[in-house]
Amino acid sequence: MICSEYTLESEALCTDCRKKLRPCGNSFYLCHNEEKYLVWSVFYYSNIVKELIIRLKYKSDFMCGEILAKHMLEFVKSNKLQFDLIAYVPMTKKSQKSRGYNQSEFLANYLSRFLNIPVICNLIKTMDTKDQIGLSGEDRWSNMEKCFEVKENKFMQNKNILIVDDVITTGATAFHCASKLKESGINNVCILTIAKSKV
Ligand SMILES: [Zn+2]
């Protein structure tokens, strides 16, 4: 559990809470159908990170969001990640309307503000991915391909893009977003998430 002190000190957890964070140092490649994309995660999905993400995602707790975003920003700087544009994993119009915001967009905007790199909002989610019960493994992967679209934009031709998301589990969502961007003329796509969860 996060103690209540995080609200007192702006954008930071107390020392005890910070000790519970488990940094995830290594990147890995998300590979499928001969495509591969480099993925970085700031933390492992330990209880405290899970709680911060849940508060950002479902409870409109943007203080927790800023704590996470700040760690993400520090990760980008210390690992010297290079990119020209920032994208984020989109939600369907319907889901975004009911939540009121997209937590990944929040993270992307924070990075953009401090790195002075623009956010590009042309990834679109056309279908919700929840209705995949009954589909397993490979079907789930390929079925998800139909959920995302890219609105093409000349500005992004040959650019390097970082896709931001909260948690990576199987990587199917991030993969398809990356793949759609790559298809539309992007030079290189990498993925950065707050947390890496076990499958
Ligand atoms: Zn604390």
What one-character-per-residue DSSP string does 67-86 give? HHHHHHHHHHHHTT---SEE
- Which band of pLDDT confidence, cut at 50, 70 and 90, is reported for residue 48? very high
Distance from Cα 102 to the centre of ligand 1, integer Å: 26
Distance from Cα 60 to the centre of ligand 1, integer Å: 19
Distance from Cα 172 to the centre of ligand 1, integer Å: 33
Residues 6 or more apart whose Cβ sits within 8 Å of residue 157: 185, 186
Rounded mean pLDDT, 110-117: 98
- 108 or 198, which is more confident: 108
Structural domains for the chain = 20-27+34-127+139-196 (3.40.50.2020)
- What does the pLDDT read at residue 77? 97
Distance from Cα 38 to the centre of ligand 1, integer Å: 32
Distance from Cα 69 to the centre of ligand 1, integer Å: 17
CA-to-CA distance for 65 and 83, rounded, in angstroms?
22
Distance from Cα 163 to the centre of ligand 1, integer Å: 30
Q: Which residues are placed with Cβ below 5 angstroms of ligand 1, an ion?
A: 3, 5, 14, 16-17
pLDDT in tens, 142-193: 788 889 999 988 888 899 999 999 999 889 999 999 999 999 989 999 999 9
